[in-house]
Amino acid sequence: MQGTCDTCGNEYHDVMEITQGGQTYTFDSFECAIQELAPKCPACGVRIVGHGTERGGDVYCCDHCAG
């Protein structure tokens, strides 16, 4: 599917669509999807791509940040 990336504005012939919270986003790469959608670790600011570590209702990137 032809489309334009919501993160970087790149026009690409094979974009992906991801729906989150009822809104649909268009991305040309996983990198751009992560940049737009992945939550940030409140301790160090890193994008949390995996399941992370939950503590007190917040999700942290690793045990070190959650501790």
Residues that bind Zn ion (CB under 5 A): 5, 7-8, 10, 28, 32, 41, 43-44, 46, 61, 65
* Nearer to Zn ion among residue 9 and residue 21 (C-beta): 9
Q: How far is the CB of 42 from Zn ion (least distance, A)?
A: 8
Sort strands 11-12 and 16-20 into parallel, antiparallel or unpaired: unpaired
5 CB contacts (<8 Å, ≥6 apart)?
11, 12, 15, 26, 27, 28, 29, 32
* Nearer to Zn ion among residue 19 and residue 44 (C-beta): 44
Q: How far is the CB of 37 from Zn ion (least distance, A)?
A: 12
